[in-house]
């Protein structure tokens, strides 16, 4: 790790990584030791590593996986769930894993709703992001969690920062932070890995023998964020530590008040159908995209509407995965 001027063996690297995470939690006042934490897990290295670290630190952390119905040639969603279930059984056996299947709950997969909706012009990414934010926020609130933790790493944060800076999206810049406090029906969100390079979280996963989905989402090809990551990697190769400096100095400038504070949320109100916060008149963007109305979709947006599957509901997933891939290592 040239930027840290540090070389560690596997055992000491794992110890350094866990301790560094705890320092970030304390530095940014993310949550207290007795917090009830919900970790959004995708099956990738970052989210599973985060769940593992929080468990090792003694926090009460449960997992949430959102089944998006994205398969492609690699059965992406099924393999993701198989990895998550395997990890949960081996690494966090006492934690609860919530699984929300979008097709079961709302009637369509993400690729299907993206084709049926004008949002994102047929590309799934916009519909996917909106759906995940909605489900994560709602489940965190309805299941009584104090905070929602995501595995965003430094590469993610620096790429978004570059994109927002190049376009001077001051509203987005003002909201980009390791912690977004809860307000007006929005759950508190934290990013404990925001100062770790992507290769550092990957190294931790390898050291800890965490099996994760190596393939990216089939729809990530051509993603603009990946383009900015490539540019930043080139800068990092010439100037080790550039990404960390870019992000940390931005946080200092933000704290000093160089960016306009987020707009007043007083215009947030409850969606007339699902009750989630929105600035739109009437229905929120989620209900509009999924065409959920009080008359036709009442059952979908009742307090217990988000289906959470138990262990016995995973058998069909394991069967589908086994038919197409070797799951001996999952």
CATH number at residue 125: 3.40.50.620
Structural domain containing residue 252: 10-230+238-264+303-321
Task: Give 279's pLDDT tier (boundaries 50, 70, 90).
Answer: confident
In whole angstroms, what is the distance from residue 22 CA to residue 193 CA?
A: 10
Map residue 179 onto helix, strand or coil. strand
Q: Would 191 be classed as within a structural domain?
A: yes
Q: Which residue has the higher pLDDT, 221 or 51?
A: 51
Asked if residue 189 lies in contact with residue 40, where contact means CB atoms within 8 angstroms, the answer is: no
Task: Give the pairing of strands 147-149 and 97-101.
Answer: unpaired
Beta carbons of 220 and 212 less than 8 angstroms apart = no
Q: How far is residue 205's CA from residue 155's CA, in Å, rounded to a whole number? A: 16
pLDDT band at 297, cuts 50/70/90?
A: low
In a domain, 275, yes or no: no
Q: Which of 43-47, 265-269, 277-281 has the lowest mean pLDDT?
A: 265-269
Asked if residue 323 has pLDDT above 60, the reply is no
Q: Cβ distance 72 to 218 under 8 Å?
A: yes
Q: Quickly tell me which residue has 């589908």 as its tokens.
A: 320
Domain membership of residue 277 (yes or no) is: no
CB 23 within 8 A of CB 33: no
Q: Is the pLDDT of residue 10 over 80?
A: yes
The per-residue pLDDT for 298 is 45
What's residue 185's pLDDT?
A: 84
pLDDT at 84 over 60: yes
How many angstroms from the chain centroid is the CA of residue 86?
19
Find the mean pLDDT for residues 39-62.
Answer: 97
pLDDT at position 319: 42
Residue 3: CB atoms within 10 Å: 15
297 belongs to a structural domain: no
Asked, for residue 279, whether it belongs to a domain, the answer is no
Q: How many domains does the chain have?
A: 1
């Amino acid at each position: 790790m040239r930027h840290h001027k540090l070389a560690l063996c596997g055992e000491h690297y794992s110890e350094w990584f866990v301790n560094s995470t705890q320092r970030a939690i304390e530095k940014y006042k993310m949550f207290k030791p007795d917090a009830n934490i919900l970790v959004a897990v995708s099956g990738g290295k970052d989210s599973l590593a985060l769940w593992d670290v929080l468990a090792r630190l003694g926090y009460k952390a449960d997992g949430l996986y959102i089944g998006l119905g994205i398969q492609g040639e690699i059965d992406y969603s099924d393999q993701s769930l198989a990895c998550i279930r395997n990890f949960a059984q081996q690494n966090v056996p006492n934690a609860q894993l919530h699984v929300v299947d979008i097709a079961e709950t709302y009637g369509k997969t993400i690729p299907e709703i993206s084709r049926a909706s004008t949002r994102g012009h047929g590309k799934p990414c916009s519909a996917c992001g909106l759906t995940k934010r909605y489900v994560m926020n709602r489940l965190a609130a309805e299941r009584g969690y104090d905070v929602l933790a995501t595995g965003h790493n430094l590469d993610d944060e620096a790429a978004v920062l570059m994109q927002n800076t190049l376009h001077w999206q001051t509203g987005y810049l003002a909201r980009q932070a390791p912690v977004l406090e809860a307000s007006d029906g929005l759950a508190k969100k934290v990013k404990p890995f925001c100062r770790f390079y992507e290769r550092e979280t990957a190294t931790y996963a390898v050291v800890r023998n965490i099996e994760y989905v190596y393939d990216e989402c089939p729809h990530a090809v051509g993603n603009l964020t990946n383009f900015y990551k490539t540019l930043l990697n080139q800068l990092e190769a010439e100037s080790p530590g550039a990404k960390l400096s870019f992000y940390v100095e931005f946080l200092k400038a933000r704290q000093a008040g160089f960016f306009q504070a987020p707009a007043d949320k007083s215009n947030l109100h409850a969606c007339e159908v699902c009750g989630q916060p929105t600035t739109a008149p009437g229905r929120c963007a989620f209900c509009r995209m999924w065409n959920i109305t009080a008359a036709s979709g009442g059952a979908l947006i009742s307090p217990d509407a988000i289906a959470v599957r138990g262990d016995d509901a995973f058998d069909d997933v394991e069967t589908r995965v086994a038919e197409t891939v070797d799951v001996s290592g999952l």
